[in-house]
Structure 1
Amino acid sequence: MKIKLILACLFGTLVSMQAQTSVKTSLLENPGSISGKVIDKNSNETLPYVNIIVKEGDKFITGGITSDKGIFYIKNLDLKNYTVEIQFMGYKTISTAVTLSTDKKNADLGTFALKEDAIELKGVDIVSEKSTIEQKIDRKIINVGKDLISVGATAAEIMNNIPSVSVDPQTNAISLRGNSNVRVLIDGKPSNIDASQLLQQIPSASIKQIELITNPSAKYNPEGMSGIINIVLNKNSKIGLNGSINNGVTFGKTPKVNSAFDLNYRNGKFNFYGNYGLNHGKNNNHGIIKSEEKNKENTQLFQFNNLTTSHLAKVGLDYYINDNNTVSFYTNQIFYKAKGYGGNDVDYTSNSTTIDLLQPYENKQDNQGQTYNFDYKIKFKKEGHNLELEANYGEDDSRENAIYTNLNRDNNTVINSFTNDVRVLSKSTIINLDYVNPLTETIKLELGLELRNETTDNNLFRDNAYSSNFTYDRNIYSGYATLGKQWKKWSFQAGARLEKYNVEAIFKQVTLADGQFKDDILSIYPSTFLSYNPSDNNSFNLSFSRRVDRPSIDQVNPIREWSTATIDSEGNPNLIPQFTNSYELNYTRKTKIGSITSGIFYRKIEDEITRVLFTNLVNPNKQVLSYANFDNNNAYGLEVSGNLDFKKWWSANISLDAYQKKIKGTIETTPGNYEFEEINATTFNARINNTFKATKDLRIQLFAMYKGRDRSLQFDVANMWKMDVGTSYNILKGNGTISARLSDIFNTMRFAFDNDRPYKSKGQFNWESQTVYLGFNYRFGSGKNKAAERKQRDKNESQGGGLL
């Protein structure tokens, strides 16, 4: 309690400093003060952290909060007439007039007995036991509940439980509707950090909701063929001090710790918020690949052991200048360290003349990412009429040091060894200007401008000597306009985004001539949306948009990303953008037990960017895993999802999806030979997340998922499935929750593949999929009151704290 009081007093001091009437000399000579006490009218218990607002007319002067004993004392007041407001979440506000004069400088207002306000309770933020799914006109929103938070420590671990989303357990590459060309945003903003790394660094407890925007409007940047995944971090602006603490331990082969602390304080014109998350632990993966290349048949064993520590912090401030003007600022800071070791054991089973290899390695990574965001919003007199200016700067500094040693597997003698030191420095600046004007009650106009500048500098040092450098600079200038119209049961929106895209890249390598790449493209990206609501329980949505996937720095970077004894992974600087025309139709039906959404989509893809495997021209004993542009392809699919309450004690989120795609392109069919190939591939996925309410405070979750077999021109990936079971129990009058979860009960999850081009091979990789998670969450804040606790217990929900 003392800690909370110290924090509250600190914030109260900051708030009092912004009083619009400064302390004058005369005031110091004759200071006035106001004091009093606040209690609950029904229980007569004192109420801590109640907001005390002092006004002169309609003008805010200063404020404070009550102590642990419900007492407030506000000093350094001029001798004038004031209005004092007593505000507390869940209670009716009390106002009283106070006059300070030379005869009465110190006003003791006595005791205020606050009465609970049932209407105000509707504004209390909560963290639901189970996650819910909402279908909007342009997106699907998953509100993250405790069932998803307890799935794992990071965002990557809960993504596989989200409809239409998959995360590769080996590379952490994320895909939407079976396609990895998806744009990942954090709070609506891009990050310089690669999505596969970013998902590992975001604590699951810091996520409020996940938005799947499969067909974005012209207002959004058109990157990402399959759409946008927006991860919304928790933020709150409730009056007073609010917060939560989350701690969890995941037990696999080794324990892994995750913690998150969230704090929010709002008083008067200021809203302060902060979040800190920590993930720490070891990860052990292993795998095997059997190759049947003629005269080079071999068996490869892989072992990966990594110790990672990541810190994610977010601090922000909202300043409400007045009812029409708001200034906001926040910063995200990410610190990530990893060190690992492992090895690649290569046994050439059919060739006695080829030396069997053993390649142990050690590596260290050190990443630092930072984002700074400024936002100024003006609200005009007309409802919904506003202008918003936003500036966002991000920087990511990534360093990796790796030591590789090649040994003769038979006698353990050293063949050679080398070190790789890689530094990647990325910077981005984004400036947005957005304007919204409801021209009439049924017509809305949106306009916007955007400037984006992104630079990346990648350096490789081999054995401490300079080896190569790759710089990649791109500028994007864009403007958009959308016009929406509503009439009766119909609504329509059409818009377009005009973009000028300029990129320049230079690859410098010792002893070789510089390689240069330039591109300058002017494109227009239209979008249309049509919605029909014949009744409150039925809605249809039809949409179209044109999208683009510009090659990322990882896809074009020719500097080797990673290496084993038999394969190198590197980018292709000759990639060109791929364009997609995307069509989508959704139908949502509300029933007595919940809502069901079904949809179909079709995508026509131009110059599709795809992973390819081919023989290394410099070293025929090795292969290169890279990227290439394939021919024009197409894909279509069907999705069904439901958020259903079968019984009072049983609810479930269910999703099914099936995709078919035609893939065409030129690949290496046999070593040294390239041919044009074409295939049709179909995959099926299903998920169900059940919540059973055993008692008012005890919940049990049962989750199952199935990911069907997938195909590409060179690889076939086997199906996967698993089952999880979890439970949560509310304690401390609903303010605390204990959670437990057993993931992959039958230990069935693994990544298995086979391919026959350019030669036959098959493999399997395993990770720590079977784990036990134990977690504890505690919520505190001035929004707490008896009526709210009773209401939430009756709904079998528990109150959430002030999060980011």
Structure 2
Amino acid sequence: MNLKLILLCLFATVFSIQAQNSVKPTLLENSGSISGKIVDKKSNEPLPYVNVIVKEENKVITGGITSDKGTFLIKNLALKNYTVEIQFIGYKTVTKAISLTTGDKNVNMNTIPLEEDAIQLKGVDVVSERSTIEQKIDRKVINVGKDLISAGATAAEIMNNIPSVSVDPQTNAISLRGNSNVRILIDGKPTTIEASQLLQQIPSTSIKQIELITNPSAKYNPEGMSGIINIVLNKNSKIGFNGSVNNGVTFGKTPKLNSSLDMNYRTGKFNIYGNYGLNTGKQSNHGFIKTTEPGQEDFQKFTFLNTNTSHLAKVGFDFYLNEKNTISFYTTQNIYRGKGDSKTTVDFLDPSKTDITQLFNNKNKNYSQAYNFDYKKDFKKEGHNIELEVNYTNNDDKENAIFSTPATNYITNKGNNTLINLDYTNPLNKTTKLELGLESRIENTKNNFIKNDSYNSDFSYNRNIYSAYANISKQIGKWSGQVGTRFEKYNAKALFKKVNENNETFEDDLFTLYPSGYINYTPSEKNSFNLSFSRRVDRPSIDQVNPIREWSTPQIDSEGNPELFPQFTNSYELNYTRKTKIGSITTGVFYRRINDEITRTLYENPNDPSKLILSYTNLNDNNAYGFEISGNLQFTKWFSSNVSFDAYSKKTRGIVADEFVEVNVTSVNARISNTFKASKNLRFQLSSMYRGRDLGIQMLRQPMWKMDLGTSYTVLKGSGTITARFSDVFNTMHFAFEGTKPKKLEGQFNWESQSAYIGFNYRFGAGKNKAIQRKQRDKNETQGGGGLL
């Protein structure tokens, strides 16, 4: 009811503003006017929203834009000589001299045809040959080119070719600079869909940019120790009907289909778009864990076969009330169905123990949806605006699992989130900008566990977050800076009920400040230095605190820890970007001070010491620091390369099995992606990656590496692209580990890393590009889009 009241008041405000802005100016007696109509030279179609600028002696006096019918009328002009400039993206600028006199006060320029500018059109809505990397004041921006698109069919696959980013090949969990505490945004907005699932659903052809925000400003929510990864999707802004269709098949041990359809219709004051993505197929995995602890030796063998199908759709519109007011709405609907069959065998060395064979099959159903309303008001001064966003999401997840014991587990997870966000930006002058904002987030989750058709337990988790932020930025010559603080009130409550046990409750109530600061120095066009600081927080997710079983094998149970509390991180970073004749090179160093770090832990089951429980815990305070370098290099017209290298060290301390443990580790990661252009339409890619070993207080992960080959061929006069790829050429990619506490063990898991992919992307439609951009909420320099979410 409260949400409906807010929306009702908002609509009343919008139409009140529209009414105020619709008052027509009067024509003064001793003044004149200029009018005309703008059309496309080839089609003779009218062009709306064209910029018409009136100048006097090269000084801008006034201006306007054309209507939906391509007409314009500029009134209240003094009777003088003027220069009229007509500017529009994708067209050549037209300049005409006009003279207003007492005898000719009202000049009609009649129909003015605009001619396409081939130079401008070359860079409009065309995917570049190769990816480029830009270092902004608060983020690193990777503009996705054909080389990265050829590196994978989905977002999860091309992420492994992005500097500082890693995707776990088994779980699809994403990490930044070796840390999985990272926040994922799509077009600057959060999503309730798990990142591991979402990355599999977004086609690589739908991605325009990937932004790595390792030290976000106070404008952003402070979640994510290692920062934010913002995936910016393509959005077609042409007049008329446009779109693209993408189909691809991956062949491993089993085939997998990845398809998507993007459509956009732009006319007059409306922009309507719709997207649909389908992922379906089987995944085969296998592995083993060998326990070598004296007296507890065993060999566990695992085989998994999962069949998953997901449908992800988005429908939305933008309504331009006028050049200063925009209303936007979209909804996303996600349907996921999965079923899995697995077999686990446990072979005990001790002959007195009976070997175990466990068969397991499960079915998952998930339905999630989101509804987003946005209103943006631009004031007269450029860059001066206010924006209100209301976002509501809910999800319903069900799992039915059957073990061969036999035993059945039925788990339901339901949740809903409401976000209301207000942003205000005011350029106080040419060198100073003020940003203010308010946000309210209300999140509710409830889980229920039924075992063998009888109630076992349920868990509810609710949290409310109210925040405000202020940022101010200033530029002085070659120096620029920004400081800000986010003020946040956080409250969380949890209740766990289980049969034959007392209820467990948890409550957390915090008021916290999250400061941030940036200093940027640009001594020349080729050199740039950036120093930044931010304070971040990682609050336990519902999966980390939920004590209800996540999954189970005969020897290991996975469950959350409701007693987890947040971890805080103070992050410092220094970057240097150098532009050379062959490209740009960025180097950086960073340091993190981590308080109460959240990590995975493995401990003995108190009810059966021969078994283990995989959960989460808070460690002591830890330090991490590192170095990274990345380059986007064009050696020749036919050979270019993206190279990245990073190394980070960390000291981790904590208590495992009642013993204090401290480890120091240095991990090294490297990537190189080479593109060879054989002709205008044909190119080849050769890429490889190396992920060094990683040591935790309980486990050592062995190094991983692979090499991929790819090619793409442009057909149908540039409208179509055929892509092929052979991944993990030498079949070297696998996850191997060794553990020491609480038991000595070793293991390895393999998946369908070696695979072949063939895909086809076709872009259709025609029309002229619009000069109006869609809303840019919560992403500073990011251009939003109507992509898949």
Q: Same fold (TM over 0.5)?
A: yes
Q: Please give the alpha-carbon distance, in whole angstroms, between the structure 2 residues aligned to 1:615 and 1:664.
A: 20
Q: After TM superposition, give the deviation of residue 283 of structure 1 in Å.
A: 0.5
Q: Please give the alpha-carbon distance, in whole angstroms, between the structure 1 residues aligned to 2:451 and 2:297.
A: 30
2:216 paired with 1:232: no
2:446 paired with 1:446: no
| Pairing partner for 1:431 from 420, 424, 447 | 420
2:356 paired with 1:357: yes
Q: After TM superposition, give the deviation of residue 763 of structure 1 in Å.
A: 0.4
Q: SS where residue 200 of structure 1 aligns? A: helix
Q: Is the 8 A contact 2:308 2:337 kept in 1?
A: yes
Q: Is the 8 A contact 2:236 2:243 kept in 1?
A: no
Q: Please give the alpha-carbon distance, in whole angstroms, between the structure 1 residues aligned to 2:514 and 2:557.
A: 36
2:603 paired with 1:603: no
| Pairing partner for 1:763 from 747, 750, 766 | 747
Partner in structure 1 of residue 126 of structure 2: 126
2:191 paired with 1:202: no
Partner in structure 1 of residue 141 of structure 2: 141
Q: After TM superposition, give the deviation of residue 58 of structure 1 in Å.
A: 8.7
AA in 2 matched with 1:397: D
Q: Please give the alpha-carbon distance, in whole angstroms, between the structure 1 residues aligned to 2:355 and 2:506.
A: 40
Partner in structure 2 of residue 781 of structure 1: 765
Partner in structure 1 of residue 547 of structure 2: 558
AA in 2 matched with 1:170: Q
Cα distance change, pair 635–358 in 1 and its aligned pair in 2 (3 A): same
Q: After TM superposition, give the deviation of residue 230 of structure 1 in Å.
A: 1.1
2:642 paired with 1:643: no
Cα distance change, pair 319–742 in 1 and its aligned pair in 2 (3 A): same
Partner in structure 2 of residue 323 of structure 1: 323
Q: Is the 8 A contact 1:88 1:239 kept in 2?
A: no
Q: After TM superposition, give the deviation of residue 512 of structure 1 in Å.
A: 1.0
AA in 2 matched with 1:494: V
Q: Please give the alpha-carbon distance, in whole angstroms, between the structure 1 residues aligned to 2:185 and 2:464.
A: 19
Q: Please give the alpha-carbon distance, in whole angstroms, between the structure 1 residues aligned to 2:230 and 2:218.
A: 16
AA in 1 matched with 2:613: V
Superposed counterparts of 1:579-658, under 5 Å:
579-658=568-647
Partner in structure 2 of residue 174 of structure 1: 174
The one-character-per-residue Cα deviations of 1:286-337 (angstroms, maximum 9, x if unpaired) are: 0011101232211111001011111111111111111111111111211111
Q: SS where residue 608 of structure 2 aligns? A: coil
| Pairing partner for 2:495 from 506, 522, 527 | 506
Q: After TM superposition, give the deviation of residue 62 of structure 1 in Å.
A: 6.3
Partner in structure 2 of residue 3 of structure 1: none
2:469 paired with 1:480: yes
| Pairing partner for 1:461 from 450, 459, 476 | 450
Superposed counterparts of 1:286-305, under 5 Å:
286-305=286-305
Return 5+ residue gaps in structure 2 as ranges.
1-20, 23-38, 51-62, 71-85, 95-110, 770-784
2:244 paired with 1:255: no
Q: SS where residue 733 of structure 1 aligns? A: helix
Q: After TM superposition, give the deviation of residue 149 of structure 1 in Å.
A: 2.6
Q: Is the 8 A contact 2:185 2:228 kept in 1?
A: yes
The one-character-per-residue Cα deviations of 1:153-175 (angstroms, maximum 9, x if unpaired) are: 33222221111111112222111
Q: Please give the alpha-carbon distance, in whole angstroms, between the structure 2 residues aligned to 1:121 and 1:230.
A: 27
Q: Is the 8 A contact 2:239 2:768 kept in 1?
A: no
Q: After TM superposition, give the deviation of residue 371 of structure 1 in Å.
A: 1.2
The one-character-per-residue Cα deviations of 1:397-437 (angstroms, maximum 9, x if unpaired) are: 111111111xxxxxxxxxx3101111111111111111111
AA in 1 matched with 2:195: A
AA in 1 matched with 2:291: S
Superposed counterparts of 1:52-131, under 5 Å:
90=90, 115-118=115-118, 120-121=120-121, 124-131=124-131
Partner in structure 2 of residue 372 of structure 1: 371
Cα distance change, pair 803–332 in 1 and its aligned pair in 2 (3 A): closer
Q: Please give the alpha-carbon distance, in whole angstroms, between the structure 1 residues aligned to 2:188 and 2:283.
A: 30
TM-score by length of 1: 0.83
Q: Is the 8 A contact 1:264 1:803 kept in 2?
A: no
Q: Please give the alpha-carbon distance, in whole angstroms, between the structure 2 residues aligned to 1:803 and 1:263.
A: 9
Q: After TM superposition, give the deviation of residue 133 of structure 1 in Å.
A: 1.6
Q: Please give the alpha-carbon distance, in whole angstroms, between the structure 2 residues aligned to 1:205 and 1:368.
A: 25
Q: Is the 8 A contact 2:238 2:768 kept in 1?
A: no
2:736 paired with 1:752: yes
Q: Is the 8 A contact 1:173 1:180 kept in 2?
A: yes
| Pairing partner for 1:494 from 470, 483, 490 | 483
Q: SS where residue 543 of structure 2 aligns? A: helix
The one-character-per-residue Cα deviations of 1:564-612 (angstroms, maximum 9, x if unpaired) are: 1100001111111111100000000000001000000000000011111
Q: After TM superposition, give the deviation of residue 494 of structure 1 in Å.
A: 0.5
Aligned length: 696
Partner in structure 2 of residue 715 of structure 1: 699
Q: Please give the alpha-carbon distance, in whole angstroms, between the structure 1 residues aligned to 2:480 and 2:701.
A: 42
Q: Please give the alpha-carbon distance, in whole angstroms, between the structure 1 residues aligned to 2:93 and 2:532.
A: 46
The one-character-per-residue Cα deviations of 1:179-202 (angstroms, maximum 9, x if unpaired) are: 111111122122222222222232
Q: After TM superposition, give the deviation of residue 756 of structure 1 in Å.
A: 1.5
Partner in structure 2 of residue 420 of structure 1: 409
Q: SS where residue 221 of structure 1 aligns? A: coil
What is the root-mean-square deviation of aligned Cα atoms in Å?
A: 2.6
Q: After TM superposition, give the deviation of residue 755 of structure 1 in Å.
A: 1.1
Partner in structure 1 of residue 390 of structure 2: 391
Q: After TM superposition, give the deviation of residue 245 of structure 1 in Å.
A: 1.0
Q: SS where residue 158 of structure 1 aligns? A: helix
Q: After TM superposition, give the deviation of residue 619 of structure 1 in Å.
A: 2.0
Partner in structure 1 of residue 673 of structure 2: 689
AA in 2 matched with 1:194: E
Q: Is the 8 A contact 1:346 1:356 kept in 2?
A: yes
Q: Please give the alpha-carbon distance, in whole angstroms, between the structure 1 residues aligned to 2:692 and 2:137.
A: 29
Q: Percent identity?
A: 66
Q: Is the 8 A contact 2:68 2:269 kept in 1?
A: no
Cα distance change, pair 89–534 in 1 and its aligned pair in 2 (3 A): closer
Moved over 4 A (4+): 38-41, 50-55, 57-64, 86-94, 111-115, 801-804
The one-character-per-residue Cα deviations of 1:78-130 (angstroms, maximum 9, x if unpaired) are: xxxxxxxx999856799xxxxxxxxxxxxxxxx99984433552562111232
The one-character-per-residue Cα deviations of 1:642-670 (angstroms, maximum 9, x if unpaired) are: 111011111111100000000000002xx
Q: After TM superposition, give the deviation of residue 706 of structure 1 in Å.
A: 0.3
Partner in structure 2 of residue 163 of structure 1: 163
Q: Please give the alpha-carbon distance, in whole angstroms, between the structure 2 residues aligned to 1:88 and 1:232.
A: 25
Q: Please give the alpha-carbon distance, in whole angstroms, between the structure 2 residues aligned to 1:91 and 1:324.
A: 23
Q: SS where residue 609 of structure 2 aligns? A: coil
| Pairing partner for 1:727 from 711, 715, 718 | 711
Q: Is the 8 A contact 1:459 1:469 kept in 2?
A: yes
Cα distance change, pair 377–122 in 1 and its aligned pair in 2 (3 A): farther
Q: After TM superposition, give the deviation of residue 783 of structure 1 in Å.
A: 4.0
Superposed counterparts of 1:21-32, under 5 Å:
none
Q: SS where residue 495 of structure 1 aligns? A: strand
Q: Please give the alpha-carbon distance, in whole angstroms, between the structure 2 residues aligned to 1:310 and 1:138.
A: 34
Q: After TM superposition, give the deviation of residue 204 of structure 1 in Å.
A: 2.5
Q: Is the 8 A contact 1:51 1:239 kept in 2?
A: no
Return 5+ residue gaps in structure 1 as ranges.
1-19, 22-37, 42-46, 65-85, 95-110, 406-415, 669-673, 786-800
Q: Is the 8 A contact 2:40 2:47 kept in 1?
A: no
The one-character-per-residue Cα deviations of 1:11-54 (angstroms, maximum 9, x if unpaired) are: xxxxxxxxx99xxxxxxxxxxxxxxxx9986xxxxx69x66769
Q: Please give the alpha-carbon distance, in whole angstroms, between the structure 1 residues aligned to 2:407 and 2:622.
A: 42
Q: After TM superposition, give the deviation of residue 252 of structure 1 in Å.
A: 0.6
Q: Please give the alpha-carbon distance, in whole angstroms, between the structure 2 residues aligned to 1:766 and 1:776.
A: 29
Q: SS where residue 406 of structure 2 aligns? A: strand
Q: Please give the alpha-carbon distance, in whole angstroms, between the structure 2 residues aligned to 1:125 and 1:632.
A: 48
Q: SS where residue 727 of structure 1 aligns? A: strand
Q: After TM superposition, give the deviation of residue 520 of structure 1 in Å.
A: 0.2
